[in-house]
Structure 1
Amino acid sequence: MNYTENYKGVKIDVQSPSLDVSQEVQAEIRASIDKLSRFTQNINALDVYFNAEGNGSKATTTIGMRVGVPGPDVFAEEKGEQWIGMLKSVTDKNIRQLQKGK
C-alpha cells in the first residue's frame, strides 16, 4: 500500500509494499509531524518506508523516515515488532538530528 497525503502543508509519502497501513498508524505519522514541527518550522516532506520480510520467528520489520527540510534531509531507521513504537523511535532519532543541525 502506497499513499500520499498533505497534512498542514507537509507532503506525506508512505510506502509499504507488503502490508496495509492502519488508520492508527496514519494518525501516528501525523502526530510525528506535529512533534517534529516543534523543532523546525521548515518541513517540506515526510517519507515513511515500512518493510516486513520473512515469516514466523525469522520475520523482520523495518521502518525508515526521511524528513525533507532545507539543506540536508534527516533520515532514521528502526527495526522491531510494533509499528507505533518504531514510528515514535524514528521520530525521536530525527529530532536529535535536527537539534544537532541547529
Structure 2
Amino acid sequence: MQHLVNSIKIDLQTIGFSETPELVEQVKNELNRVLRFRKDVVAADFYFSEDGTNPETNKMVRWRLGVPGNDLFAEARSASWASSLRNAGEKLRRQFVD
C-alpha cells in the first residue's frame, strides 16, 4: 500500500500478512527519524516478510531509500517488526552519515 510522509512516497509491502495501523505508524516514525539526517529522499520502499521458523530472527525488513544518485538499501532481521525496522534504519543512516 502507498502512503505519503513529508511529500515522500512510501511503498509498504507485507508478504504473508496484512499491514496494521500500528505498523504503518512505526514505518512513518522510523522514516522521520532517518530524514533528520538526509533531506533529499524522494521515495522509500519497505518490504516486510516472515522468513524461517526461528522466532528470534523471523521478522525481516528490507528498506530502500530513493535518493539522487544510487539508491540506498538495508535489511535486518529480528524478533519484532519494530526492532527490524530500527536496525535497518540504522544501517541506512550509517550509509549516508559516516
Q: Which runs of 5+ in 2 are unaligned?
A: none
Structure number with greater Rg is 1
Post-superposition, which runs of at least 4 consecutive aligned residues in structure 1 deviate over 3 A? Answer: 53-57
Task: State the distance in 1 between where 2:77 and 2:66 align.
Answer: 22
In 2: Cα distance, 1:9 partner to 1:20 partner? 24
Q: Which runs of 5+ in 1 are unaligned?
A: none
Aligned to 2:47: 49
> For residue 8 of structure 2, what is the aligned residue in structure 1?
10
Report the CA distance between 1:17 and its aligned residue. 2.2
Q: Tell me which residue corresponds to 2:17.
A: 19
Q: Normalization by structure 2: what TM-score?
A: 0.88
Structure 1 residues 56, 32: closer, same or farther in 2, change over 3 A? closer
Aligned-partner Cα distance in 2 for 1:24–1:96 = 26
The code of the aligned residue for 2:91 comes to K
The alignment's C-alpha RMSD in Å is 1.9
Q: Aligned residue for 1:29?
A: 27
Q: What is the DSSP-based 3-state SS (H/G/I as helix, E as strand, rest coil) of the residue aligned with 2:27? A: helix
Alignment match, 1:64? 62
Partner Cα separation in structure 1 for residue 29 and residue 42 of structure 2: 16
**Distance of 1:41 and 1:60 partners within structure 2:** 32
Q: What TM-score does the superposition give when structure 1 sets the normalisation length?
A: 0.85
Residue 60 of structure 1, CA deviation:
2.6
What secondary structure does 2:15 align onto? coil
Report the counterpart of residue 79 of structure 1 in structure 2: 77
